[in-house]
Amino acid sequence: MPAPAIPATDRQDASVPDLSGHEDFGESFYLSARRNDSFGRLPFSRGSQLAGRLTEGQVSVLISPMNEKKGGQLRLGVLLSGGGRTLMNILDAIADGRIAAEVAAVICSRECKGAERARARGLDVHVVPYEQMPDKETYSGKITELLDAAAVDLICMAGFLSFWRIPPHYDGRVINIHPALLPAFGGKGFYGEKVHAAALESGAKISGCTVHFVNNEAYDDGPIILQRCVPVAEGDTVDTLAARIFEQECIAYPEAIRLFAAGRLRIDGRVVHVKQE
C-alpha cells in the first residue's frame, strides 16, 4: 500500500517527507526517488534525515514499507558457516513455490559443506574467513559490500558463526532461525547440538524453533516473528530432538520469508505484528 508520490524541488540535506497518515508502515521505509532520468532507492527510519542529497531538478518520492516487495522475486542473501541444511530448505521452498524468492548471494565464514552444496546448485558463493581480516569493522564491511553488490532485499542467517555488525540500511531486513523457543536456550555459545543438550539437561518438556529479526545488541535477541513447538519425548537424545525440531524449521523459515515478502510484518519495539491477509 504505497503512498502517493510527493513532489520536491532542489532539496539538500532535507528532512524526510511528512509521514502523517502512514503510521501503519511502522518505523522503517524505503524512499524511491526519481530525479530527471535517474532513479534510486534510499532506506531510512521515521524521523531521520534523507540518506543522501537530492539537489538537482524535480524529485518525486514514493514511500513504501521496507519489508514489502513490489513485483518480481525477493532477493535473498544467505549467511552460513556449516552444512547448509537451512539453505537447502530455503531452496526447496523456492522450488516448490512456497516462497517467491531467489538466492542472490551466499556468504560463508569458512570453507564448509554448505559452501560446496551452494556451488553445486550454481549459486554465487563468497567465502570470507574472519581470521583473515584485521578487525571486526573490516570484516563487517566486507560482508556488507558483498550483500550490497548482490542487491539483496532480505538477509537470512543460516548457522552463521561469525559476528557481522548490521549497518543501518539493513535494519529490519536480517532474520535468523534458532533451534529453541527463545528466549530459552539462546545467546552467545548456544548453537547446534549445544542448544538441544541444554534443553534436555534442563528437563524441558517442550522445545521448538524461533524465527526472529537480528540486531546488533546481543545474540538471538531480536524481535520474534514466529515460533513452532515440539514435545521433548522421554528418552530423547540430542540427535532425536534436533531431528524433530528441524522438521519444524523447514516450515517456519519459509513462512517467515513469505510474510516478509508480502509486507505483513511490522516491528513495534520488541513485538512483531503480523498483518492479516
Residues carrying an active site annotation: 178
The distance from CA 56 to its chain's CA centroid, rounded to whole angstroms, is 34
Task: Tell me how far apart the terminal alpha carbons of the chain are, to the nearest angstrom.
Answer: 13
Instruction: Retrieve residue 126's grid coordinates.
Output: 563468497
Is the peptide bond between 65 and the residue preceding it cis, with omega within 30 degrees of 0? Answer: no
Sign of the Cα pseudo-torsion (240, 155, 74, 211, in order): positive
Q: How far apart are CA 184 and CA 206, in angstroms?
A: 11
Burial of 7 (0-12, 13-18, 19+ CB in 10 A): exposed
Q: Helix, strand, coil shares of the chain as percentages rounded to 5?
A: 25, 30, 40
